[in-house]
Amino acid sequence: NGQSTLRPINSDVAIIAHRGASAYGPEHTLAAYKQAMTMKADYVEFDLQMTKDGQLIAMHDETLARTTNAKDLYPDRAPWRVKDFTLDEIKRLDAGSWFNKAYPDKAKTEYIGQKVPTLEEAIEFVKLHGNGKVGLYMETKAPNVYPGMEEKVIEILKRTNALDDEKLFIESFSEDSLRKLKTLAPKVKLIQLYTGTMLAGKDVYQEMQRISDYASGVGPSKELVVPKLMEAAHQNKLLVHPWTVNSQDDLVSMLSLGVDGEFTNNPDLLDDLLKKP
């Protein structure tokens, strides 16, 4: 049956802290990254956007509206697109207070006034506080909006001495972006992300075989993770890192299917399940 080639639950499964330990602190702030490392994450995940003056920052959305006080500080600049603001302007924003208002039971005074990190700051912070053991896992978000972002990612990884790190992944929903990265840095490990729509109507084995040309693994939405996908990925030597897995039941269910890592807002829950030393 389809289960026979699945691997047993093992402690090598990577704990990937999604936007930091984002269930506990404001996503993509150094406070949330620190919390992730305290909770024994193996990797800190960050999404990348680019400012008007070409600086890469860690932020999920293409606009500043949801996770900063941009609407208050810059009321006339709707819709607050990252690409329309300089880094200097973005550095004046508070990226933590929204979390305290949205989640009063998890609010902390230290979150007030958290800054939006640049990619370079995020890398340096994880390297310093992770004692060189915590990995970097970064996503080129909206690469069509930000021409040249791949070159900048690789340049910054080189400048911070992170490009040759064993624990480094770059992920994207964009195959074009990943292929550019492959050309720029052939050894870097790339993860092709998938939504359900992206795999609809495709032969999953053929798709995994095709992308194994440039990717080291896949990041499917958790609903896509079924034995057939697991087998197709592993037969093509691709890692499987589903997103975003937050409940205990879902974390266990993914482990039982044999995944190689999980993106989670709750790295502590996955650590408890894996019982890593």
Name the pairing type of β-strands 168-172 and 56-58. unpaired
Annotated catalytic residue within 60, 129, 234, 241:
60
Structural tokens at position 251: 């974390």
> Is there a catalytic annotation at residue 18?
yes
Binding mask 47-66 for ligand G3P (x = CB under 6 A): x------------x------
Terminal-to-terminal C-alpha distance of the chain: 34
Which residue shows structure tokens 């150094």? 30
Q: Which does 34 bind (CB under 5 to 8 A by kind): ligand G3P, Ca ion, none?
A: none
Q: 219, 220, 258, 261: which one contacts ligand G3P (CB under 6 A)?
A: 219
To the nearest whole angstrom, how small is the minimum distance from the Cβ of residue 18 to ligand G3P?
6
To the nearest whole angstrom, how small is the minimum distance from the Cβ of residue 277 to ligand G3P?
27
Q: CB nearest ligand G3P: which residue?
A: 243
- φ, ψ of residue 175 to 5 degrees: the values are -65, -40
Residue (of 234, 175, 232) closest to 203 by Cα position: 232
Q: State how far the Cα of 138 lies from the Cα of 22, in Å rounded to an integer.
A: 15
Q: 13, 17, 18, 37: which one contacts ligand G3P (CB under 6 A)?
A: 18
CB 165 within 8 A of CB 199: no
CB 111 within 8 A of CB 100: yes
> Is there a catalytic annotation at residue 234?
no
**Is residue 263 within the footprint of ligand G3P (CB under 6 A)?**
yes
**Is residue 139 within the footprint of ligand G3P (CB under 6 A)?**
yes
> Interface residues with ligand G3P (CB under 6 A)?
18, 47, 60, 139, 171, 193, 219, 243-244, 263
